[in-house]
Amino acid sequence: MRPPLPPQVLDLALALKEQPRAGWLRVGLAQPESVAAHSWGLAWLALVLAPPHLDRARLLALCALHDLPEAVVGDITPHDGISRQDKADRERSAAATMLATRPDLWGLWEDYEKDRSEEAHFVHQLDKLDMALQALRYARLHGTEVAEFLTSARAGIDDPGLLAVLDAAEAA
């Protein structure tokens, strides 16, 4: 059996179910999705959109881990006035502390963070696609202005299949 994570780390991770996504709060949504709901969205997209040559179990693990440091540092957005490097440093420190007893999970988180594998690159794109699909949902349900989210998503997706999914969602 692998060593367990300390109880406080388990509690921090579960708190992501209650942490609202900051970008949606910024545009005025009173009850936006949580960070954990976003991670679930990535996992769902990985299950249904992953090309057969990618390791689905690895994809799902990356989806579950990708925003884990936000349990400590919060959901930092480009509008928060924090440099990309400072954000990366904060998240790396949080992940290192949280995953200190689990080098296997640390390695997965680092793979995602450094975009080392095909699976990590695909999950980065799913991260953008999930944001775009959520933006379209909020636009439909609440009339939220979402152009900046769609522009950001398109800039981060290079997979033709994922772009086709986004095109179809925008056209619907």
**How much is the pLDDT for 74?**
94
Give me the pLDDT at residue 156, please: 98
* Amino acid, single-letter form, for residue 27: V
Instruction: Give pLDDT < 70 ranges for the chain.
Output: none
Judge whether 126 lies within some domain: yes
pLDDT at 42: 98
Query: For the domain that residue 159 is a member of, what is the CATH number?
Result: 1.10.3210.10
In this prediction the pTM is 0.95
Structural domain containing residue 12: 7-171
Task: State the total domains in the chain.
Answer: 1
Please report whether residue 117 resides in a domain: yes
What span, in angstroms and rounded, lies between the C-alpha atoms of 52 and 160?
Answer: 15
In a domain, 43, yes or no: yes
Look at residue 1 and tell me if it is in a domain: no
The answer to whether residue 87 sits within a structural domain is yes
Cα separation, 13 vs 7, whole angstroms: 10
**63 domain-assigned:** yes
For residue 2, tell me if it sits in a domain.
no
> Counting beta carbons within 10 angstroms of the beta carbon of residue 95, is it exposed (0 to 12), middle (13 to 18) or buried (19 or more)?
buried
